[in-house]
Amino acid sequence: MQETSRSIIKEKWHLIEDGLHDGHMNMRIDKAIAHACGKGLIPPTLRFYGWSPPAVSIGYSQRPERDIDLNYCEKHGIDIVQRPTGGRAVLHDHELTYSITFQEENQVIPGHLQGSFKVIGESLIRGLAYLGIDAQLVDGRRNRLNRPCNREPACFSSHSPYEILTNGKKIIGSAQRRFKGVILQHGSILIDIDRERLAYIFKVSPAGDRERLISSFYKKMISLNEVNNDTFSYSDVMNAMIRGFKDRLGIEFSSDTIATEDTEVTEKNNKVT
């Protein structure tokens, strides 16, 4: 009797191993990828990148003049940019950022909100495991415990369902938005943290509350390099995360820098409505 082997065809995704850009360019590229993916011009895409100069990104419904100390940011060369995704303010400095873009109808990630956050979170946890970091997902059934934190303007001040904790502290913060059948999710993976600098980007009144804010950051957030007293490079973290996504999603990547079709869309269609 002749045996027949059944090969498993893996879904192919586009991988962009990017470098450092200013905040406005980073957001234009991600919006362009979402536009192209939604039109079916490119496959689902996972992009990793950094920020130069440092930047504060705010959620699409957040008002910078209400929460952010604009004078401090200008004086210290910190850009301010609005994300196409939701959530609260993030200081992008010593970190790796991921963005993942896919159509709601795809083979590997659920199209609904909680399911997609969970699967992406599990992929990130597998990536952290390759760095020797034990992490957990915030329980999606217990989000009401975090409601008192929701007034804080900083993303890492609260724990949303299916975000990533280690030692009880937030190590990756993520936000998502949907555009006409395409899903874009961003995430900030902290390699190092300057908590004092982070506290000073926010308007704080009375002044004594700034120390309270710094103390809160020490209690609620942690960086990769603080977990096991390691020193990870940008490339170390990116390579581990790529392995984590491949393992969890069971996909293959076509790897490149910014591809021609992405660049063209960035130049011509840098708005997603």
Q: Which of the residues are catalytic?
A: 155
Q: How far apart are CA 55 and CA 130, in angstroms?
A: 28
Half-sphere exposure of 186 (CA within 13 A, CB side): 29
Can you tell me the distance from the alpha carbon of 116 to that of 121, in angstroms, rounded to the nearest whole number? 8
Q: Which residues touch 8 (CB under 8 Å, ≥6 apart)?
A: none
Nearest Cα to 82, choosing from 106, 68, 62? 62
Q: Determine the Cα–Cα distance for residues 161 and 174; give it in Å rounded to an integer.
A: 10
Half-sphere exposure of 141 (CA within 13 A, CB side): 0
Residue 131: closest CA among 223, 45, 50: 223
**Phi, psi at 219, each rounded to 5°:** -80, -30
Strand pairing of 164-166 and 169-179?
antiparallel
The C-alpha atoms of residue 146 and residue 196 are separated, in whole angstroms, by: 23
Q: Which of 147, 172, 154 is nearest to 227 (CA)?
A: 172
**Angstrom distance (rounded) from CA 250 to CA 246:** 5
